[in-house]
Amino acid sequence: MEKRNLRVVKWLASTPAAGECTQCRLQFSVPLPALQRVSDAQESLRKQFTEHKCAGTDKAGTDKKETVRA
């Protein structure tokens, strides 16, 4: 099984704006106020990733793709 990691999938200049879990493909977005500072955006993604539980894959074997909005 693939190790669970946070991957940034969308950038606004040098600020991470969205990320996803490499294991379950759950997506996370950074709230607008946190986009003003790179450190706030990074912390927002890191917190959402740490607090989520991986759902795995469905019975057909395809990856579930959900989005979490902060």
pLDDT tens-digit series, residues 20-68: 999 999 999 999 999 999 999 999 999 999 999 998 644 334 445 566 6
Is the confidence at residue 3, as pLDDT, over 60? yes
pTM higher than 0.95, yes or no?
no
Euclidean distance between CA atoms 58 and 53, whole angstroms: 15
Euclidean distance between CA atoms 29 and 2, whole angstroms: 22
DSSP-derived secondary structure for 15-34? EEEEEEETTT--EEE--GGG
Domain edges within the chain: 6-55+64-69
